[in-house]
Amino acid sequence: MNAKDFGSSSSMQPLRIMGIHLPSGLCNNRAMADSFRTILASLLLTLTVTVGGSSAPAVAQDGGNGDFNAYLQSLRPKARAMGIADQTLDGVFATLTPNQRVIQLDQNQPGGGAYSPIPNFEPYRRQHVDAARINRGRVAYQANRARLTRIEAETGVPEEIMVAIFGHETNYGSYTGDFDLIRSLATLSWEGRRRALFEPELLATLKMLDNGVPRSRLVGSWAGATGYPQFLPSVYLKVAKDGDGDGKADIWGSEADALASIANYFVQAGWRKGQPWGVAVSVPAGLNRATITAKTNPARCPRVFNRHSRWMTMAEWRRLGVMPSGAGALSDTMLATLLEPDGPGKTAYLLTSNYRAILDYNCSNFYALSVGLLADAVKQ
């Protein structure tokens, strides 16, 4: 999920929803879609308080910490409805103050507009599927072989996919973020610009605390992604698993728990056992791309999915001269879409429905391709 923020352009680089884990991820993408109208409305509110080229948060401008405390108290009915004890709320609310650095990071998020150019994938691939990351992945792969084999047998999610996510999100646990999740999410929710996105994550974090997760564990990216998989709090509540049998789902300190939780995420995202994520292919110069254009309008991440062709069987792709360029192969009846991330004449990919499961984790073609390619390299 690097840490998964919500502000990055999903077509140019990963949504660091997860961060961003958006993650990102199972909850992240849906939350982005659900809050789209809210974000547009809040943009108008933000513009009304813009002075001298810089914008201040509309909520924070008038009330200071008194407003912040009042906002926290307003959450009590929702928290109680989730079964969060008043004692938990009393203990944590008294410790919180707004974090202006988090507000600045959120407001300064890079990312192109809906019509900004999409760069080539190759520079991103060289940076994220590099020799150092591959070598560290192979070490992690071998060190966890016994538990990876068991988890794959239980879930159908390939061992190398779990390791690749672990590597992409936190470089195999070497960095997970050090922001206080509750303070960061309380700040972003109170600030109000993207409250519909961040308030549910704040409440989920409070639920984690109430469930017994130590406050010291609740750290991560400024936007709420946490642990080795960089899950959003709401995602943790849905998919976190105990992988080492100690009765806890410790995605911050247990690689076994993190890997089992990543696999469970993909199970819930619809991963199909025994199906590859995709394969690199060569595309003939004379391919008529107008005949393979997708006819549907994607409900989410349009800049991601609009780059994909329509679904066709591998037999149909082969008849068009689109051929695997390496050792990988897909059966004739398997459905796949074509993606040319560096344009015509460069390496392209035929992608299965399992690629879509990776996109559910982080809705970025660059992210999903690099996860698949890193997984393949780690397993070699």
Question: Does the pLDDT at position 77 exceed 70?
Answer: yes
Coil, helix or strand for 179?
Answer: strand
Q: What does DSSP assign to residue 172?
A: T
The confidence score (pLDDT) of residue 145 equals: 92
Question: Does the pLDDT at position 24 exceed 70?
Answer: no
| Average pLDDT score over residue span 220-244 | 97
The confidence score (pLDDT) of residue 32 equals: 39
Flag whether 341 is in a domain. Answer: yes
Question: Does the pLDDT at position 114 exceed 70?
Answer: no
CA distance 177 to 220: 4
Question: Does the pLDDT at position 6 exceed 60?
Answer: no
Flag whether 283 is in a domain. Answer: yes
Distances in whole angstroms, Cα of residue 13 to Cα of each of 104, 240, 352: 20, 26, 21
The confidence score (pLDDT) of residue 278 equals: 96
How many residues are present in the chain? Answer: 380
Question: Does the pLDDT at position 17 exceed 50?
Answer: no
Question: Does the pLDDT at position 214 exceed 70?
Answer: yes
The confidence score (pLDDT) of residue 43 equals: 38
In 3D space, the residue among 368, 365, 26, 39 whose CA is nearest the CA of residue 197 turns out to be 39
Coil, helix or strand for 118?
Answer: coil
Least confident of 45-54, 93-102, 132-141, 218-227: 45-54
| Average pLDDT of the chain to the nearest whole number | 85
The confidence score (pLDDT) of residue 16 equals: 41
Going by pLDDT thresholds of 50, 70 and 90, the confidence category of residue 113 is low
The confidence score (pLDDT) of residue 29 equals: 43
Going by pLDDT thresholds of 50, 70 and 90, the confidence category of residue 300 is confident
Going by pLDDT thresholds of 50, 70 and 90, the confidence category of residue 364 is very high
Cβ–Cβ < 8 Å for 167, 137: yes
The torsion angles phi and psi of 231, rounded to 5 degrees, stand at: -80, 145
CA distance 312 to 36: 31
| Average pLDDT score over residue span 222-231 | 97
Flag whether 284 is in a domain. Answer: yes
Coil, helix or strand for 97?
Answer: coil
**Amino acid identity, position 272:** R
Q: When comparing pLDDT for 205 and 5, which is higher? A: 205
How many domains does one find in the chain? 1
Flag whether 84 is in a domain. Answer: no
- CB atoms under 10 Å from CB of 311, counted, come to 16
Q: When comparing pLDDT for 296 and 169, which is higher? A: 169
Question: Does the pLDDT at position 4 exceed 80?
Answer: no
Q: 246 exposed, middle or buried (CB, 10 Å; 0-12, 13-18, 19+)? A: exposed
In 3D space, the residue among 352, 215, 350 whose CA is nearest the CA of residue 280 turns out to be 350
Flag whether 282 is in a domain. Answer: yes
The torsion angles phi and psi of 252, rounded to 5 degrees, stand at: -100, -25
The confidence score (pLDDT) of residue 328 equals: 63
The torsion angles phi and psi of 220, rounded to 5 degrees, stand at: 170, -145
The confidence score (pLDDT) of residue 262 equals: 98
Looking at the chain, list the stretches that DSSP marks H as alpha helix, in order from N- to C-terminal side.
Answer: 26-34, 36-48, 58-74, 76-81, 86-93, 100-107, 122-128, 131-143, 145-155, 159-170, 181-191, 195-210, 233-239, 255-268, 302-305, 314-319, 353-361, 365-379
Question: Does the pLDDT at position 366 exceed 50?
Answer: yes
Flag whether 133 is in a domain. Answer: no
CA distance 160 to 166: 10
Cβ–Cβ < 8 Å for 45, 58: yes
Coil, helix or strand for 263?
Answer: helix
The confidence score (pLDDT) of residue 296 equals: 86
The confidence score (pLDDT) of residue 295 equals: 87
In 3D space, the residue among 272, 267, 269, 247 whose CA is nearest the CA of residue 257 turns out to be 247
Flag whether 316 is in a domain. Answer: yes
pTM of the model: 0.82
The confidence score (pLDDT) of residue 3 equals: 36
Q: What does DSSP assign to residue 346?
A: S
Flag whether 244 is in a domain. Answer: no
Question: Does the pLDDT at position 206 exceed 90?
Answer: yes
Tokens of 206: 């409070």
CA distance 50 to 27: 31
The tens digit of pLDDT for each residue in 306-338 reads 999 999 999 999 999 999 987 667 889 999 999
The confidence score (pLDDT) of residue 5 equals: 39
The confidence score (pLDDT) of residue 65 equals: 56
| Average pLDDT score over residue span 132-142 | 96
CA distance 39 to 57: 14
- CB atoms under 10 Å from CB of 310, counted, come to 13
Q: Which domain holds residue 344?
A: 278-351
Q: Which residue do the tokens 């958006």 mark? A: 22
Question: Does the pLDDT at position 47 exceed 90?
Answer: no
To the nearest 10 degrees (0 to 180), the angle between helices 365-379 and 353-361 is 110
The confidence score (pLDDT) of residue 42 equals: 41
The confidence score (pLDDT) of residue 63 equals: 40
Question: Does the pLDDT at position 10 exceed 70?
Answer: no
Going by pLDDT thresholds of 50, 70 and 90, the confidence category of residue 380 is confident
Question: Does the pLDDT at position 116 exceed 80?
Answer: no
